[in-house]
Structure 1
Amino acid sequence: MSIQWFPGHMASARKKAAEAMARTDVVIEVLDARIPEASCNPMIRELREFRQRPCLKLLNKADLADPQVTRAWLAYYERQGGVKAVALSCKKPADVARIPQLAQALAPHRNDRTKPLRLMIMGIPNVGKSTLMNALLNRRVAKVGDEPAVTKSQQTLDLGEHMTVTDTPGMMWPKIVHDADGFMLAACHAIGRNAVIDEQVAAFLGDILLARYPRELAARYKFKQWPADGHALVEEIARRRGCLIKGGGLDLEKAAGLLLTDFRAGAIGRISLETPQTRAQMLAAAAQAPSALPADADCEEDADA
C-alpha cells in the first residue's frame, strides 16, 4: 500500500509560501528528529534554493529520537552549503531561546531597524511549527493540536525590534515517491488519519523496532514469545494487552493504536526510524528498481503540480 496525502489547501499554501520567500532572509525548517529526511519537504528545498535563502534546520522532538542517530544527522546536514542544523525540543524554552541568534548568524547583514532579520518557519504538518512560533513569542499566537494540518494560514509578527517571523501552514508535497517515507510519516503522525490504515503502519513500525530496538521492545511489552515480524508484533501486543473483540478474536486495530501511541509518546524509548545510512541504502535500492513510468514522468508530474 502506498500512502499519499495532499489536501487541497496545501496547493494554495505553497503559492503563498513562494511569495513570502521573496521577503524572507532565513528559512527555519522544522523537521521531525526521528525521521529528518522523510519529513523534509522537497518543495521547501526548491523554494529556498531558487531564492538562495540559507536554512536553519531544527530537528524537533529530539528528546524522542535516538541521540546517536541524531548526531549522525546533524553531521550530515552540516556538510550541506547554506545550512545550519540543531537538535532540540520546541517545548523547552532554553532550546527555543537559542534560535534567534543561530538564525542571525546565517544573515549577519540584516540586524537593525532599517534591515530587520525576516524569518519564515516552514515544515510538514505536525512537526511543531506552531509550538515553536508560540515559544519564540512567549505567547499563544498559533493554534496547536496533536493532529496534522491544524494551521491553515500565514501570519507575520515582530520578534523584537530587529526581527520578524512568519508562520506558515504545514505543507506536504503532491507525490510521496518512496513508500517507506509515507509509512514513516504516518507512524510519526504527520499524515491525516483518513489516508492511513493503522494496522499497516504499526506493522511497518514493528519491523523497524524488531530489527533496531529489540531491547526497548522487550522492556516495554515483556513478550512471552518473540514476534517474527511487525504483523506478529501487533498480534502479540493484542494478546499481552487484552485487545479482544467479541468472540475472543484479537482486536488488531486497537493493538496497532497502542503501539503507535507508545512510539509517538516515547514510551518505548528514544527511537529513530531512519539514519543517514539507511536513507542512502533506500535511495540506492530505489534507483536500481525498474520503473513503470518513463524516466522523466515524475518530473513532469511534479512540474504540473
Structure 2
Amino acid sequence: MNIQWYPGHMAKARRLLGDQLKRVDIAVELCDARAPLATRNPELDRMCAGKKRLLVLNKADLADDKSTQAWLRHFRAQGLEAVAFRSTNGKPRDVLAPLERLTAGEVERMRARGVNKTVRGMVIGIPNVGKSTFINRLYGSAIVKAADRPGVTRANQWVKVGQYLEMLDTPGMLWPKLADQDGALMLAFLGTIRDAITDMEGLSVKLLDRLMDMAPEATAARFHISDTGLRGYELLEEVCRGRGFLLSGGRLNTERGAAVVLDEYRAGKVARVTWQQPV
C-alpha cells in the first residue's frame, strides 16, 4: 500500500505560508501526540527559521501519557518550547502562558515606545491535526469551522484569543512526497490523509494488527474479538461477526467493519496508543 496525497490547495498553501510567516510574531506548530514525528511537516523547520515557535502536542488525551511526557522531554532537550494539550478539555492557559512568555520581550519593547502591541501568532501543521478545534478551545467557543477530517480549513481567519493575542488558522499542509511509508501509514491511521484515496479495508487490517500488538485487551474488548491470536484479514472478519455487520445471505460487511474500526480508533474509543517513541 503506497500512500501519497498532495492536492492542489496544499501547493497553494505552501506558497503563501512563507509570506504569512513574515507578518506574525510567533508560529504555533501542532502535531498529533500519538505520532509526534510523523505528524510534523519536515519543511517547517526551514520555513520557520528565525521565528519564535511553540510546538503543541495536540490530542494528548488520545495518546499514552508516559509517552507524551517522554516526547516533551525530547523536544525540550532539542531547544524547542513544547507543551501537551488535550483536545477535548485542555486548559487555554497551558498554551497562552508559554505564548505570552515567548513574546514578552517584543510586547515590552513596543510598550516602552507607547504602543499597545497585539501579538500575532499563526497556527500551522498538517491536515486534521486539530488546528481549528485548538483555536476554538483557546477562544472558548466554536468560532472557526472544524471537523474530524482533513481539508476543512481552506482560508485564513484571525481570531482574538487573549487581550493582546490574535491567532491565525491556516489550511493543513503536507509535503509533496511521503518517502517514509511507515510514517505515511500512521498519517492514514489518524485520518490526516483522505480515506477516499486509500484501501480502507487494507488500512483497517493494518490498524487492527498494530492495535492487537500494542493494546490487545482493550482492542479485543472494544471489537468483540474472542481469539486474540488472529491477525490480518481474519481480524476484520471477526470484528464484523462480533458487531453483526452482515449483508444478505449472511456475508460479512467488511466495508462497514473497516469504516467503524477507523472511525472508533480516531475518536479515541479503542485505546490510548502512541505509535512512535523518542530515541
TM-score by length of 1: 0.83
Cα distance in 1 between the residues matched to 2:121 and 2:72: 21
Q: Any idea what SS the aligned residue of 1:108 has?
A: helix
2:84 aligned residue: 87
2:212 matched to which residue of 1?
210
Hey, what does 1:298 align to over in structure 2?
A: none
Query: Which residue is equivalent to 1:43?
Result: 43
Distance in 2 (CA, whole Å) between partners of 1:205 and 1:274 is 14
User: Of the candidates 164, 167, 171, which is equivalent to residue 166 of structure 2?
Assistant: 164
Aligned counterparts of 1:90 and 1:223: Cα–Cα separation in 2: 29
Larger displacement relative to structure 2 (148-157 or 240-249): 240-249
C-alpha displacement of 1:130: 0.8
Cα displacement (A) at 1:169: 0.8
Who is 2:253 aligned against?
251
Give the C-alpha shift of residue 241 in structure 1: 1.4
Match in the other structure for 1:125 = 127
Q: Where do residues 36-115 of structure 1 align in structure 2 (5 Å cutoff)?
A: 36-49=36-49, 52-81=50-79, 83-92=80-89, 95-111=91-107, 112=111, 113-115=115-117
Contact map agreement 2:83 2:95 (CA 8 A) in 1: no
How far does residue 10 in structure 1 lie from its aligned partner after superposition? 0.9
| One-letter amino acid matched to 1:194 | A
Please list, as runs of the form range in 1=range in 2, the aligned pairs for 1:210-289 lying within 5 A after superposition.
210-277=212-279
Q: What is the rounded CA distance, in whole Å, between the counterparts of 1:251 and 1:45 in structure 2?
A: 44
Amino acid at match of 1:105: R
TM-aligned CA deviation for residue 176 of structure 1? 0.9
Q: 2:269 & 2:249 partners in 1: Cα distance?
A: 30
Q: Sequence identity of aligned pairs in percent?
A: 37
SS of residue in 1 equivalent to 2:70: helix
- 1:115, distance to aligned residue in structure 2 (A): 4.1
| Structure 1 residue 117 displacement after superposition | 2.4
Deviations 1:167-215 (A, max 9, x none): 1111111111111122211111111122112112112212211221112
Q: Contact 1:199 / 1:252 at 8 angstroms: preserved in 2?
A: yes
Cα distance in structure 2, aligned partners of 1:56 and 1:264:
25
Contiguous gaps of at least 5 residues in structure 2 = none
Residue of structure 2 equivalent to 1:291: none
Q: Distance in 2 between matches of 1:225 and 1:245?
A: 23
Shift of 1:231: 2.6
* 8 Å contact kept, 1:202–1:230: no
223 and 98 in structure 1: CA distance in 2 versus 1, 3 angstrom threshold: closer
Which residue number corresponds to residue 186 of structure 1?
188
Moved more, 107-116 or 25-34: 107-116
Q: CA RMSD in A?
A: 1.9
TM-score by length of 2: 0.90
Residue by residue over 1:229-260, the C-alpha shift from the partner in whole angstroms, topping out at 9 and shown as x without a partner, is 24322121112112223332322221111211
Distance 1:66 1:212 in 2: 11
Give the SS at the match of 1:237: helix
Which secondary structure does the structure 1 equivalent of 2:37 belong to?
A: coil
Gaps of 5+ in 1: 278-305
Contact 1:154 1:166 in 2 (8 A): yes
**Cα distance change on mapping 1:23 and 1:264 into 2, 3 Å:** same
In the TM superposition, residue 78 of structure 1 has moved relative to its aligned partner by 1.1
User: How many residues matched?
Assistant: 273
User: What is the CA-CA distance between 1:139 and the residue it aligns to?
Assistant: 4.0
Query: 2: distance between equivalents of 1:60 and 1:178?
Result: 22
Partners of 2:237 and 2:70 in 1: CA distance: 33
Q: Measure the CA separation in 2 of the matches of 1:140 and 1:215.
A: 36
* Distance of aligned partners of 1:239 and 1:227 in 2 relative to their CA distance in 1, 3 Å threshold: farther
Alignment-derived partner of residue 153 in structure 1:
155
Partner SS state of residue 89, structure 1: coil
